[in-house]
Each structure stands twice: as C-alpha cells, then as structure tokens.
Structure 1
Amino acid sequence: MKTNPGRFFEDYAVGEVIAHAVPRTLSGGERALYHALYPARGALFSSDAFARACGLPAAPMDDLIAFHTVFGKTVPDISLNAVANLGYAEGRWLKPVWPGDTLRSESQVIGLKETSNGRSGVVWVRTRGLDQRGEVVLEYVRWVMVRKRDAAAPAPQAVVPDLAPSVAAADLVLPEGLDFTGYDFALAGERHRWGDYAVGERIDHVDGVTVEEAEHMLATRLWQNTAKVHFDATNREDGRRLIYGGHVISLARALSFNGLANAQMIVALNAGAHANPCFAGDTVRAWSEVLDRAETPAPGVGALRLRLVAVKQGAVPFALKGADGKYLPEVLLDLDYWALMPL
C-alpha cells in the first residue's frame, strides 16, 4: 500500500526518534498571512526599523509562526489520528527565525499511556525545530491522545515523563543583541512597561474575534497541519471540524495586545492546556494574569510570566475552573508563558 493512514497509538515506542518530512522555507508571505488571520500587531515583528532600534538586524518572524511551522511538520507522524492535543511543557524559543530560514522538525517519544477505555492512548513527544544550519530554534514537549488501530491490541507499559512545572527564569534564552534601553513606547502602541505589572494582576483584553470556517481552514493549511479532525467533518461523532488549537493560541495572543502590547517576544512555554474544543461560530476573548516577574541580563529587558486564558461566549470574566477543579465549559485555552518586555 502506497498511501499512509498515519500512525496509531500502538505504532509508537518510548525512545523512538522521528525525523519529520518536508522542510519549509519561510518568507514575508507567512508573516503577511499571519497578520491577516489574527489581529497581530506587535511592533517588533511588524517593523524592521523598530527591531533595529531594539538591537536586532531586522524584524524577526512572529514567535508563533515558528511554533506553528515546527508543530505542523510533526502532525503527519504524531497527531494525524489524534482525538485531541492535550498540553505543552518545557518549551523554549532558542533563536529568532528570520525570513529566508528553512525549518524542519524532529521528535522523540518520551512517554506512552493507554486511556482507561482502551480505544486510545496518550503519546508524549519532545519536539525540536531546526534551521538550515542544523541549529535548534525551538523545543517543546507536547502530549496528544491518539486513536488505537485495534482496541484489542495489548497496552504498552505505561511511561509518564516527569516534566518541569515551568521554565526557570535563569534558563530563558534571549536573542543576541536585544536592547530595550531606547524602546519607543509611542510607536509600540502602549505606555505600560515591566515595572507597571504586579504579580497577581489580571487583565481583561476586552476585544473578541468570531471564528469562521474559512479562516481556520486557511490557517491550518498554512501551517501544513494535516490532522483529520480539523478537515474531515466525518471524523468526529458530532460532524463538526475541530478548530486547530494553535489557531486559538494565536488569536488569544493577538487579542492580548490590548493591555500587553509591550510583551514583545515569547521566550518560553511553561504549560498549556486546550481545555475545551473550539468550533466555527465561537467568539474568542482573552484575559491574562501576571504569574511572575524576572530581570534579565539584556539591557532594558525584563521578563513577565503570564497566564493567557482564551474563552468563548458566555464566559464570566476571570472565571477558570469550577468547584470540582475542572475547567469551565467556556474556557478554551489555559497557556502559561514567559515574554520579554522593556523595563
């Protein structure tokens, strides 16, 4: 058989390293499409002149363009037959990605556990994105629930990786040359700096975006994400196409501009959960909570640890979980990350 139905849960082995196919060279086209799909307007990613004033040679690609590109490469091997993408940990952006860079991905299986119903299992992988020089630009762990080909197939020995609850501030990697001492707050669009944010502070980002079928399908194709649940309406019992979780991440991140416009670069992904499914017609809103603050060795640069929560219509402001400890049904995303901001 020449066609590929994708891997099922019983096809993985702990320790296996998977080199993912089809490297991709990024250009200004990806940037333009990204900014068209999301209300993204971070100054550092929009203007070469602004980026040069911050010590960089030009405007890098948006951090999440790199993430989506690296993630998309992994889908045919990791989550083509996924039920759901469950979470993230230990993510770090190690180098900026520039127009003209070519990215590829490789993953190592670090954990396996069959679910209680015996029809699927959770697969943990550590993924690295590499550029044309073989240098790692991004790394992260994710875990995904994958269907079994045969429900009667014996379960592998359960291996659940021990993952760090967060990336330590000392382990954040800052772009070479980054310098916010001459940062132009007027051009960035907001006056709030690192010292204006307090741990425990919560920010309602006010704005909302209603998700349409056309835009989420375009976005998922843009990142070459081939997971069946995003395209094939017959792949789910409810007959609906699931919105790619990365689409929700980018929407929420872009919406956070209103209140966090100067959180310019994502440098770490501490944790993340796609709490509930998102479908076309849902209106996505976002709020953030400041979890921690840290100084960095780069001139004029501080780091904020932020919780970014995406919700849909009907959500109560700043409500996250119920009395039972489970996410409320209106919560779509709970993302914990570090971002760089001028002091």
Structure 2
Amino acid sequence: MTKASRIAVDAMGGDEGIAVMLAGVAHARRRFPGMEFFLVGDETAIRQGLENHPNLSAASEIVHAPEVVGGDEKPSQALRRAKTTSMGIAIDLVKQGRAGAAVSSGNTGALMSMAKLSLRTMPGIDRPALAALLPTLGETDCVMLDLGANTECDTRNLVQFAVMGAAYARTALDLEQPRVALLNIGTEELKGTDTVRDAAAQLRGAAHLPLDFKGFIEGDRLSRGDIDVIVCDGFSGNIALKTAEGTARFVADLLRRAFQSSTRSKIGFLISKPATELLRHHLDPNNHNGAVFLGLNGLVVKSHGGANELGVQNAIAVAAKMVRDDLTRRIIEDLGNFEARAA
C-alpha cells in the first residue's frame, strides 16, 4: 500500500489503554493483510506493546507523541496542544497526505475540533456531520447523521448531510442506491418544520443522484431496516441515538432480571441462551463501532472510548473502506452533480 493508504491510529486514545488499541489494530491487520499503519503515541510504550504482535510490527511505523488528550479535557485546551498530542499528530498525518485516514478512541469533542481546524471542510460543504452505523432488523445496518456536530441546521445543511450520508452508505454498506429519509414527527408531507419540509422538497428533485429519497421517518422506525440513511440535525440525532442506546440497555437489563427471578427462569435461560447470545451480539456497540466525520478534506473515524479489540478492529475497517473507495471524491462528485442540477 502507498503511504497515503495507511491508517494513522491514535494508540493512546481510549479507556482501555494501549494494549487493547494495539490488539485491535493487530486484528485489523490479519483481516486486511495488505494494510499498514502509523501508530501514534509514546514510542517506548508502543514498542513494548508490539512485542506481543510481531505481525503488526512489520506493517507499522511508530510516530512519537509526547502528550495525550485527556478524556475530560475541554476542546479549546486540547487544540492548543494539537501539535504534541497523539490525537493531533494522527490528524496531521492525514493533512500531510501521509495517511489516508485517522482513527482515535479519544475525547470526541477534542477530536471534532482538531479535525475541523486542521482539515477544514470540503469545497461546497458548509458544515461537517458526524455519521455512525446503527443496528437494524434488516439485512444491513443503517447510517444516521448528524449525531451531534451541529445542534442547529438549515435546509442546505440537511440536504448536504443527505448527499454525504448516501455516499457513505454506498461505501460502508455496499449499496448502489441507498434509501434516504429525514427524521420527522410524522410521515405526512405537511408535518415538521419549514426547514425539514424544504429539505424534503429539494431531495425529491434529486433523482439524478445515486440515492432513493423516501420522505420522512419517525423515531419509532429507526431500527426497522427499511431506510438506509437517516438524516437530521445534530440536536435531534444525538437525543435519538442516546435514547436508542438507553433502550437497548434497558431491555438487556430486564431480560437479565427476568432470567434470574426464579429457578424456572434460570432453566429457561439455559434453553434460550443461543437466542439471548444472538441478541447480545446484535446490540453490542463494538459490532457497529466507528463514527465518521463527513465533509472534511480528510477522513477521521471516532471509535468508542470503551471499545474492546473487536470494536477497534471494526473502526479501522470503516476507515479502510473509506480510503479504498475514495469517499471524499464520491461526496464531492455527488454534491457537485446535485448543485449543478439545482442551478
């Protein structure tokens, strides 16, 4: 692979420490044999960790970073130390063109601020958006954006999010014509704010783009699997995401209590264990790990802070797919085609 195809990994980010980060990168290396990495962080600690992963050592270049962004650190404080932290240096490798994407499990606010300041937005994009994959009852996950980068959005922002989200779904979910919908309080055309209705009107005229606009979707159908890309402002999206995650934990805790309530329930648990394990696997955030900042002049992936080895591997896989399919070019082309037709 060329240097521009390498993935820059913030080895110091994440709640579980450098051992889990390196183990996740090693899993990704076995999954994608040709992949190479920049491992950014404390050089001594990384070299010691690589002793357990000789296969990864041969495919990696260590980039020393003397400092780490703290989990509770304010973005403004982190920005002042961008040039000396593992997170900031990983992003800078993308800016220099030495890495195709950066992956970090660190402070989300700091990562967003550093990425926006260093990489800037693409031509024609007003604001970047945070997109993530959510589990559904369908055959594939769905993409949802924005999940918190922009609390207030106008019509133009929502339309751009839809175009970017569809381009990402074609890459991450291998879909030729992703089904796109706007999150709303109803499915009727007259429901919602003027901003949402105006965005829908513009997207209905986007038949020339590789997306299938389906109108509006309500919050209770986010996980049904009949929509591939769900678009909303960051305020609504973050609330919807946290509500869905809380509901999943609530259901899992209820099942755990129910199965422990009596001897008969415990026997029932043993009988139904394959089904409950399937449910646990489906709801495990590590299996859907890797949120993406779309709309920047470079690719940055946010991994869950508490991700395990599998979660880190999946976040790196998201980055690898975006680099392979040149997602930045796809977004620029799709947005250019949309605006040319609109003009």
- TM-score norm. by structure 2 comes to 0.23
Mark the structure with the bigger radius of gyration: 2
- TM-score norm. by structure 1 comes to 0.23
Instruction: From the two aligned structures, give the one with the greater strand fraction.
Output: 1
Instruction: From the two aligned structures, give the one with the greater helix fraction.
Output: 2
